[in-house]
Amino acid sequence: MSTRLQSGGRLIDRTKQIEFNWNGKRLNGFQGDTLASALLANDQMLMGRSFKYHRPRGVVAAGPEEPNALMGTGEDGRFEPNQRATTTEIYQGLKSHSQNHWPSLEFDVGAINTKLSRFFPAGFYYKTFMAPSFAWKHVFEPIIRKSAGLGKAPTHKDEDSYEYFYAHVDVVVAGGGIAGLQAALTAGQAGATVLLMEQAVDYGGRAITDGVTIGGKPAAAWIKSTLAALKKLPNVQMRTRMMAAGVYDHGYLLGYERLTDHMGPSDGPRQRLWRIRAKRIVTATGAIERPLSFAGNDIPGVMLAGAVRDYIADYGVSVGDRTVVVTNNDDGYRTAIALHEAGLNVPCIIDPRGDLDGELPAKAIALGIRVENKSAIGKVKGGKRVEAVTLCAQAGEGATLEEIKCDAVAMSGGWSPVVHLWSHCGGKLNWDADTAMFRPDPARPPLGADGTGFVIATGTANGHLDAAAALKDGHAAGMTAAKEVGYKPARAAAPLAASEREAAMMPVWSMPQGASYELKSKTFLDYQNDVKVSDVRLAAQEGYESVEHTKRYTTLGMATDQGKLSNINGLAVLADSLNADIPNVGTTTFRPPYHPISLGSIAGDAHNELFKPIRKTPMHQWIDENGGDWEPVADWRRPYCYKQGSESVEDAVTREILNTRENCGLLDASTLGKIIVKGPDAGKFLDMMYTNMMSTLKVGHCRYGLMCSENGFLSDDGVVARLDENTFLCHTTSGGSDRIHAHMEEWLQTEWWDWKVYTANTTEQYAQIAVVGPNARKVLEKLGGMDVSAEALPFMTFKDGELGGIKARPYRISFSGELSYEIAVPASQGQAFWDMCMEAGKEFGIQPYGTECLHVMRAEKGFIMIGDETDGTVIPQDLGLNWAISKKKEDFLGKRGQQRSHMTDPNRWKLVGLKTVDPAKVIPDGAYAVDGTMRENGMHNMIGRVTSTYFSPTLNHSIAMGLVLNGPDRMGEVIDFPTIGGESIKAEICDPVFLDKEGARQNV
């Protein structure tokens, strides 16, 4: 059984007991425990079920590489699936549960899959669900969906907050083991700014547990003094519980800092995502131990040897009373010694090697531990817990020599440097056959903006498994990084580390050497995805020679641990099956993040009210308080209508239209773009920007203009006013202000840079308020301050003056067909002016109106709306706007485009009005017209589509505009618009101007 030892555990505080909840049980642990160590202390070795076969699984590792012990943690708005028990620190009241089982962890119906496992070989899904095609959707997918997935997706909105932090540093050191600490110290002492991040709660990596000495003292003492020295350096920052998640182009690095995960719900953000620009990145990320491939290596109780001694040293937890150690290298002996020193029984160390001449085996033998060389585990016996192992010869096929009773197995297949960060951005690897590992190739690092390498791998992550070499390498990395970012580090030797001399390891990819198919089909490579040695062999047999294909076919390394444990073993099996060398088979691509990070941290602060910036006009609050029913217009919010009392939206719109046409309406038009264009060449420039002639516009006058892209397509429209000889003010659509300003600047900066023109986007300088309707003039006259008569301020002119004591510029322009003034006042006084208009307009029946009223009124007048009548494929000629396209101008943006054959095709759909035969029926938005003929594929031939469609209260009739084949030549013809319900709406083609074609209403 696993249990808490009487003493030990450098990371736990035995004076602080923590109560937490797991699978509904109340359990106790200590402050500093991870969920895994606390569960082990409570004799809970079974922690989850595997993905495919629902096999019982226990914890294997003690760090982020853990494939099995995945938990759901928290509740409701703080629930999170797939959290590794090995990196989840417990806190008072933590609620957690295991996953992927039904009805319970102990008894799981899905475990039947393991009995059927020979029916679930590699590529099973691909092979089985190919045909018949309907079966996928109706049979297979629903079943697979029900049983697939590890954790369940959260159902509540995330209650936590997250944030970003941007930092610029000379050197990031990823990993706070002894090599990382030394690299940070060396670079920091040289003067470079350094950010050192360590994913765990404490610094030092494996050095303390593994008994390394530095400068003759225990590693812990050196670590303490080095941390003190680092803390003294103002240019060095250190963070724990912070992981380097990914390395990207040009020295960009994501750091994932877990602020409150170990405390539970607290003030402030839960996690902080650091977006760092580093000139150099030193990866001191250590190594991960590899499992060994023997039958039953997934039975709970089989663990990595390093993890077994971590649980003893870090948490004072014994994983079993009798632990068999199986190792192909000397490091595994450290675990046997640690177990022995903790008073636990090690019945046998099983080692496939012949000569055992290292210091550690000698020490183990001296302690009286039985060591079997040239040996292997034949298979592990047990179901939900290890019961025994069979001892066999490594060279043979697995014939049992002896059965050894035990309740845990500590395995070590050697170590793989963590090369993820090195590889994320293109760093290449070399295969080191002696140590059977991929290590970074310093000659082929990831390249930065200046073409030089910007990642420096160091320590164990650079392949130095020996402490002395690792520390020396850390120092060298610090020197190199400091030099490369422009500092001159003082010449100093690295401190000397020492650990036991280790003999060579022996690569073992299959245990025993000649294991039978039966054994191989119980030998797991990828624990989370249930990929076995037999699966990889099958994939190779079936022709999957590329490692990238094998990965996808077998799902090897595709689980949430991304193959941290399985990669090398899988590769080796594949290489063996293909009779190729490991380096020739190659590795799969390492992609960020190194370890899963939360979606919340990626979203950062962009949630709730900060999700997306909303642009607000100066009258926003008033509108909100006066019935405004908001709709988004680009990033702005504009009122669709103003609801009075219990009025419906439709009733409000109708009321607003009738009131504006009969009395007076007030519109917040502040969102319209207002771009100043000034200079001696301003007229010439605008002649290029607009399809019509702007250079001839008289000072004080306004002209409606169209803007096209070089392709000829209509992109924006608006009224241009000439403020003085050299200055124009260009109105754009609400969504177009930034875009059109950028468009103008692009042409000025990149094509006509010799033209003397300056632009300025003054959109938000003004509140623009439209006073519209037969009584509009009366309202303004009541405000007083300037002459707004027809004579002083005729249609399509403007004047600067004052209204109601506020500096104002009324434009006599109309988008409604009514007498209309659009008045620009300083934004700071927008609300004051609005209030004055409302007050002065009381006796004239003034009412505010929203965007829908605006839309209906403009449609009644046949005015186009960018985004309704246009969709990026429409040219002005399609809309009958030829009058606004200059024939005199030599050139303008879009002119050449509009001459292309497709644009001059007489069969392009053209704008017409549409009057429904039944006046009460409104054609649905976007409806298509058909002529009754069919295409070969059984679809209707379409001859047009609706672009704007409304019920006009003014005319008491449904109206619409649309683009119709040969439309202008078909006046009076009735065409059909089929609707989704099957009904067809008939409409007569007519002039798009439904109201006051002569313009008598506006020109008064």
Partner 1 sequence: MLLLNCPCCGIDADETELEAGGEAHITRHGAGASDDDFETYMFMRKNPKGVHFERWRHAYGCGKWFHAARCTMTLEVFGTYSAQTLEPPKALINKIKKKRPDWEGFVK
Partner 2 sequence: MSNAVSAMNGASFKGSVTIKDTGLQGMITLRGDFKSAVVAKALKTATGTAMPETGQILHSAKGSAAWMSPDELLLLVDYTKVDAIIAKLDKALSGEHALVINVSDARAMFEIKGAATRDILAKGSPADMSKEGLPVGVMRRSRLGQLAVAFWMDDEKTAHMVCFRSVGEHVFMWLKNASEKGSLPKYYT
- The residue among 760 and 1004 lying less far from partner 2, judged by its C-beta, is 760
Q: Does 886 bind partner 1 (CB under 8 A)?
A: no
- Shortest CB 891 distance to partner 1, Å: 4
Closest of 626, 665, 658 to residue 644, by C-alpha? 626
Q: Does 488 bind partner 2 (CB under 8 A)?
A: no
Could you give the string, one character per residue 360-379, with x where binding to partner 2 holds by CB under 8 A and - elsewhere? Answer: --------------------
Q: Tokens representing 607?
A: 């949630």
Closest of 193, 215, 374 to residue 276, by C-alpha? 193
Q: How far apart are CA 53 and CA 115, in angstroms?
A: 8
Task: Calculate the CA dihedral of residues 749, 753, 756, 760 and round it to 10 degrees.
Answer: 0
Residues in contact with partner 2, counted by CB under 8 A, come to a total of 48
Among 220, 362, 468, 832, binds partner 2 (CB under 8 A): 832
Q: Does 634 bind partner 2 (CB under 8 A)?
A: no
Q: How far apart are CA 520 and CA 478, in angstroms?
A: 45
Among 56, 177, 211, 269, binds partner 2 (CB under 8 A): 269
Segment lying near partner 2 (by CB under 8 A), choices 453-461, 671-679, 923-931, 961-969: 671-679
Q: Does 609 bind partner 2 (CB under 8 A)?
A: yes
Region at 215 (left for phi over 0; alpha for psi -120 to 50; beta for the rest): left
Query: Residue 676 binds what, of partner 1, partner 2, none (CB under 5 to 8 Å, by partner type)?
Result: partner 2
Residues in contact with partner 1, counted by CB under 8 A, come to a total of 29
Task: Calculate the CA dihedral of residues 933, 939, 943, 946 and round it to 10 degrees.
Answer: 140
Detail the DSSP E strand segments found in 219-316.
Answer: 236-239, 242-248, 252-258, 271-283, 287-289, 302-304
- Shortest CB 246 distance to partner 1, Å: 10
Q: Does 753 bind partner 1 (CB under 8 A)?
A: yes
Query: Residue 765 binds what, of partner 2, partner 1, none (CB under 5 to 8 Å, by partner type)?
Result: partner 2
Q: Does the CA dihedral 77-83-87-92 come out positive or negative?
A: positive
Q: How far apart are CA 193 and CA 237, in angstroms?
A: 8
Q: How far apart are CA 424 and CA 430, in angstroms?
A: 15
Could you give the string, one character per residue 277-306, with x where binding to partner 2 holds by CB under 8 A and - elsewhere? Answer: x-----------------------------
957-965 and 940-952: which strand pairing?
antiparallel
Q: Does 618 bind partner 2 (CB under 8 A)?
A: yes
Residues 427-456 touching partner 1, rule: CB under 8 A, are: 447-451
Among 355, 397, 751, 991, binds partner 1 (CB under 8 A): 751
Q: Does 231 bind partner 1 (CB under 8 A)?
A: no
- Shortest CB 241 distance to partner 2, Å: 13
Q: Does 277 bind partner 1 (CB under 8 A)?
A: yes
Query: Residue 451 binds what, of partner 1, partner 2, none (CB under 5 to 8 Å, by partner type)?
Result: partner 1
Could you give the string, one character per residue 733-762, with x where binding to partner 2 holds by CB under 8 A and - elsewhere? Answer: -----------------------x-xxx-x
Phi, psi for 601 (deg, rounded to 5): -70, -30
- CB-based contacts of 500, cutoff 8 Å, min separation 6: 211, 330, 358, 359, 360, 363
- Shortest CB 625 distance to partner 2, Å: 15
Per the listing, tokens 């950010």 go with 195
CB 193 within 8 A of CB 169: yes
Region at 897 (left for phi over 0; alpha for psi -120 to 50; beta for the rest): alpha
Q: Does 250 bind partner 1 (CB under 8 A)?
A: yes
Q: Does 636 bind partner 2 (CB under 8 A)?
A: yes
Letter for the amino acid at 191?
G
- Shortest CB 161 distance to partner 2, Å: 8
Using DSSP's 3-state secondary structure scheme, residue 775 falls into coil
- Shortest CB 882 distance to partner 2, Å: 34
Could you give the string, one character per residue 23-62, with x where binding to partner 1 holds by CB under 8 A and - elsewhere? Answer: ----------------------------------------
- The residue among 620 and 858 lying less far from partner 2, judged by its C-beta, is 620
Among 897, 919, 924, 978, binds partner 1 (CB under 8 A): 897
Segment lying near partner 2 (by CB under 8 A), choices 74-82, 504-512, 573-581, 763-771: 763-771
- The residue among 274 and 951 lying less far from partner 1, judged by its C-beta, is 274
3-state secondary structure 354-375: CCCCCHHHHHHHHCCCCEECCE
- The residue among 3 and 831 lying less far from partner 2, judged by its C-beta, is 831
371-372 and 429-432: which strand pairing?
unpaired
Query: Residue 101 binds what, of partner 1, partner 2, none (CB under 5 to 8 Å, by partner type)?
Result: none
- The residue among 111 and 832 lying less far from partner 2, judged by its C-beta, is 832
Range list of H helices, 9-154? 35-41, 112-115, 124-128, 133-135, 141-147
Segment lying near partner 2 (by CB under 8 A), choices 10-18, 199-207, 398-406, 607-615: 607-615
Burial grade of 142 (CB within 10 A; 0-12, 13-18, 19 or more): exposed
Specify which residues 379 forms β-bridges with. Answer: 295
Segment lying near partner 1 (by CB under 8 A), choices 675-683, 796-804, 806-814, 893-901: 893-901
Q: Does the CA dihedral 452-458-461-463 come out positive or negative?
A: positive
Could you give the string, one character per residue 89-108, with x where binding to partner 2 holds by CB under 8 A and - elsewhere? Answer: --------------------
CB 437 within 8 A of CB 417: yes
Q: How far apart are CA 737 and CA 362, in angstroms?
A: 79
CA-derived radius of gyration, the chain: 38
Q: Tokens representing 108?
A: 């799981």
Segment lying near partner 2 (by CB under 8 A), choices 37-45, 260-268, 542-550, 712-720: 260-268
What does the DSSP 8-state code read for residue 588?
P
Maximal CA-CA distance, the chain:
114
Segment lying near partner 1 (by CB under 8 A), choices 375-383, 645-653, 897-905, 945-953: 897-905
Using DSSP's 3-state secondary structure scheme, residue 780 falls into helix
Query: Residue 725 binds what, of partner 2, partner 1, none (CB under 5 to 8 Å, by partner type)?
Result: none
Q: How far apart are CA 59 and CA 80, in angstroms?
A: 19
Residues 96-135 touching partner 1, rule: CB under 8 A, are: none
Query: Residue 710 binds what, of partner 1, partner 2, none (CB under 5 to 8 Å, by partner type)?
Result: partner 1
Among 401, 468, 603, 676, binds partner 2 (CB under 8 A): 676
Task: Calculate the CA dihedral of residues 236, 239, 240, 241 and round it to 10 degrees.
Answer: -150
Number of other CB atoms surrounding residue 286 within 10 Å: 22
- Shortest CB 134 distance to partner 2, Å: 45
Q: Does 605 bind partner 2 (CB under 8 A)?
A: yes
C-alpha to C-alpha distances, 934 to 926, 937, 967, nearest whole angstrom: 20, 8, 20
Among 610, 742, 790, 971, binds partner 2 (CB under 8 A): 610
Q: Tokens representing 986?
A: 């008939």
Among 711, 762, 765, 831, binds partner 1 (CB under 8 A): 711
Query: Residue 235 binds what, of partner 2, partner 1, none (CB under 5 to 8 Å, by partner type)?
Result: none
- The residue among 523 and 691 lying less far from partner 1, judged by its C-beta, is 691
CB 594 within 8 A of CB 421: yes
Residues comprising the chain, all counted:
1004
Query: Residue 249 binds what, of partner 1, partner 2, none (CB under 5 to 8 Å, by partner type)?
Result: partner 1
- The residue among 137 and 902 lying less far from partner 1, judged by its C-beta, is 902
Residues that bind partner 2 (CB under 8 A): 161, 163-168, 193, 237, 266-269, 272, 275, 277, 605-606, 609-610, 612-618, 636, 676, 678-680, 756, 758-760, 762-766, 806, 826-829, 831-832
